[in-house]
Amino acid sequence: MTELASQLAAGVKALGLESVVTADMQAQCLAYMALMQKWNKVYNLTAIRDPQEMLALHVLDSLSVLPYIQSGSLLDVGSGGGLPGLIVSITRPDVQVTTIDTVQKKAIFMRQVKAELGVNNAQVIHGRVEAYQPPSPFDQVISRAFSEIALFRRLTMHLIKPHGRWLAMKGVVPEHELQLAQVIPAEIIPLQVPTLQAERHLIVLENS
């Protein structure tokens, strides 16, 4: 087992996800990382170059929200290179994931990952979220470093089902953003990302 593989296995165990994220899924996550490193040389998908940092900041960070994602449909807004959307689709076959990004090279990369890794429960959209008109709205809409909460809600209001949930991945609790958005979260969930020495929180809002 390579060092990265053992670090990922340890991270999955620390997150309490060993019954969810199988060895095959972990191998898929590492294959995704390898593709990101390869494409990064040409396309500059992420500023993070170090594989261990990539594992913590991208893969384990994305895995940390798995327990709070319900089965059904999920839209990942401003997905970039597919975070957390493609990691969710690899590890949660019960979730139909759509990723959307305005940057064409990022959408091309995500489509390549989907094809090479055979991720059948993901679809990739290149476009602006405010202009996106899917056949039906989503159960959940997630974002990681997309925008502040008020804008995130405003741009995706037409994309979420009644009683659907917004999931905003944040660092410290964004008190100022919540005040500006004039919303009271359904939940504020502290996330413990293995090997990451930084505060992480998941802000859950309900479309009531």
What is the domain partition of the chain in residue ranges?
3-206
159 labeled binding residue: no
Yes or no: is domain 3-206 CATH 1.10.3720.10? no
pLDDT averaged over every residue in the chain: 96
- Residue 129 annotated as binding site: yes
How much is the average pLDDT of 128-155? 96
Q: Is 200 annotated as a binding residue?
A: no
Q: Is the pTM of this model over 0.85?
A: yes
Closest alpha carbon to 188 in 176, 172, 179: 172
Contact assessment for residue 63 and residue 40, using Cβ atoms and an 8 Å cutoff: no
Structure tokens at 39: 């494409």
The answer to the question of whether 85 is labelled as a binding residue is: no
Q: Is the pLDDT of residue 102 over 70?
A: yes
pLDDT of residue 1: 66
Q: Is 144 annotated as a binding residue?
A: yes
